[in-house]
Structure 1
């Protein structure tokens, strides 16, 4: 691939992330409604602004993968170094998106390795990349890894090493909802709820504990079992869940990042997606 194609992959990933941010209502997550609330204005606007700061790092990850040509320990180390540098840049731009950066980074690099592959093959290549240890990673455990160890949750690393199963489930949910006549926004919300219904979100485990996590998972399943967001009953259940999570201050950020990964894979050329999921 050329450098222009690396930039295209990076911009597609950023568009997927901002597309996730534009959805509403997202239970417990920042969305455009925050623009009308003074307390939330900075949060949502800064997330949209800082999302753009991911583009140079993601393009560099794609270029590194294209140059290397296959999943190797050396490429994994280079992706880790680029990712940490990008985290710093995003922090200067307003912060956020740490989980999304790593998910999108692996997927962008995998898409650069396999430019004509479908979503399933891209996820499989990302799995191979994630299987290597990042020797340059800080020795000090992150909050996510500490919570993963405490509760036995897969966390972001486990999700990547498993080949992004929740990203693939979100893609399936998108296809199902679209086939049933849902609008694009409804399909994406159903995909988010599908991830929320089963993901062991380390952010939720940190803020709400295992009981809180199960509460959120049950709430997401309740929306889907009511018919999804395209139905009146499902929409009512979504509104109730949204109010509940905002009142509790619980935010399923891990699910949001994985939805962005699904939207990125969904944006790959249609010809490459045939039979992918």
Structure 2
């Protein structure tokens, strides 16, 4: 049975995804400038609308975790079933967010299993859930899993089974940027670039191949090495990367979903102390 806590977690996850969508400029990713969809082929307003369709499924995932109470194979299988149903609902609302749903689903379930956990404890709980096989998963491989197998990339499944290392990296990047006095948008952009600098993004491997992936990783590192998005030099490097990816029609979609996951986990300390979470 759903509870206020489940609804609070689901709303926080959708809010994290919305904050990711609102961030700009995001190199190669949809942002508020994409009113005409540009090379991303995703209208920003439509993506914000379809993000809302994730909430019922995320509530159901949190409720399943709370009911089962342990990171078991049963829970993993139920999360997969709910996720496929939610993917259909999101498709009816306009589509998108498949990668973010995968990330947020595991993290919401982990937060429901460990109500007082924050940061790395949440990703550790998600790792325990992801360690199990989804017995009802379709046998036909997805494009992402095919690309992972072709290039030896971890992919979404490997990321979850490793305990979302790029979510943890993004959380560290948020802390470093904030401690250095960066504005919140700059801290979030630095976190995104931190993910992009090392992630073996299967979407990029599909569209750009290994050479293109290395090009994007190196360019993201270049922005950070220039001082990050809080500095003039870093902003110039970010603008150049943004222009480059849009010109090539390359999109690091995996990084966008992982940033949404990091922003969700980052919000958990606030949620724990809020009246809604404690009720």
**Could you tell me the TM-score, scaled by structure 2's length?**
0.95
Query: Could you give the per-residue CA deviations for residues 160-197 of structure 1, whole angstroms, max 9, x where no partner exists?
Result: 00000000000000000000000000000000000000
- Deviation, 1:41, is 8.7
1:263 is aligned to 263
Superposition map of 1:129-144 within 5 A: 129-144=129-144
Q: Is contact 2:9–2:62 with CA below 8 Å preserved after alignment?
A: yes
Distance 1:121 1:31 in 2: 30
1:188 is aligned to 188
Match status 1:72 vs 2:72: yes
1:89 is aligned to 89
Distance 2:154 2:41 in 1: 32
2:18 is aligned to 18
Distance 1:2 1:100 in 2: 22
Distance 2:106 2:180 in 1: 31
Q: List gaps (5 residues or longer) in structure 2.
A: 274-279
Match status 1:250 vs 2:245: no
- Deviation, 1:269, is 2.1
Distance 1:185 1:44 in 2: 17
Distance 1:239 1:203 in 2: 21
- Local SS of the residue matching 1:269: helix
Aligned residues: 272
Distance 1:220 1:227 in 2: 12
- Deviation, 1:12, is 0.2
Let me know the Cα RMSD of the aligned residues.
Answer: 1.5
Superposition map of 1:80-119 within 5 A: 80-119=80-119
Distance 1:13 1:135 in 2: 26
Q: List gaps (5 residues or longer) in structure 1.
A: none
- Local SS of the residue matching 2:87: helix
1:209 is aligned to 209
- Local SS of the residue matching 2:67: helix
**Could you tell me the TM-score, scaled by structure 1's length?**
0.95
Runs of 4+ in 1 over 3 A off after TM superposition: 37-42, 270-273
